Amino acid sequence: MILKAITFNMCHGEGLDGSIDVRRQATFLKKFKPDIIFLQEIDLYTKRAYNKNQIYTFSKYTGLPYRAMGTNIKYKSGFYGDGILSRFPIEYSANYLSPTTSPEHEQRGFLCIKVAIGTIKLNLFSVHLSVFEEERILSSKALLRIVSNINKPEGIIIAGDFNVGISKIGNHKYSFEQKDFYEEFEILKKKFHHLNNSAPTWFSKEGSGCIDSCFYSNNLKLSKFETIPTKVSDHYPIYMEFII
């Protein structure tokens, strides 16, 4: 069968016009009829997002009934983290906090769920890695340790905002440096296939770059992918089709 998936940094629902509208984002993605959506930068009851449960709103307007969220930090009277929406029942979910090198750095995480499609088991990870290279490298190594405990017949997809090439240059300001080699990617390539995308997926006044991507296990086949231009976030979603 064909599994349709999207990874999307939703920027807490904020579009390039400054409006926070999760319904707008969800309605836009629903047109692609995804089975799975990996979400990053999702808010839960924060003041900036009008005290709303954004994962619930996304689920409602995409028509994907099963959802999980991993909250990595407390933020503005609520929580902030990653999410996954699924057309299939979730058998298991866990949120792993990623390694940090300083207590002053923002805590990131890896949200994992397991779904069953007939006799096929899939382990799905939504990730949002650090803006510090050393922490991204540590996170890739931590991901390999986590997936080493997954039974080999089961499929694995790791998708999200990997922040490769990103450096923090100020308060909420980041630059991007294009490189031929990212150590954090090379670590994951030792075990997984890598989505060969290169079109920019993140845009800001300080720069833009291809920082959103996907890795998948050898027992899955990627048949199609597309970077989708939009103004509903400062990131473009990536649409993927897998043969499972």
Query: What integer is the mean pLDDT of 207-232?
Result: 97
Contacts of 139 (CB under 8 A, 6+ apart): 98, 99, 108, 110, 127, 129, 130, 184
Instruction: Dump pLDDT digits (tens) for 65-99.
Output: 999 999 999 988 999 999 999 999 999 999 999 99
Query: What integer is the mean pLDDT of 199-217?
Result: 96
Query: Which sequence spans correspond to the domains of the chain?
Result: 2-243
pLDDT of residue 1 exceeding 90: yes
What is the pTM (predicted TM-score) of this model?
A: 0.97
Superfamily (CATH) of domain 2-243? Endonuclease/exonuclease/phosphatase (3.60.10.10)
Collapse the DSSP code of 100 into the 3-class scheme (helix H, G, I; strand E, B; otherwise coil) and give the result.
coil
Taking CA atoms, 32 is separated from 12, 47, 94, 240, 242, in Å, by: 21, 30, 27, 10, 14
Query: What integer is the mean pLDDT of 51-74?
Result: 97
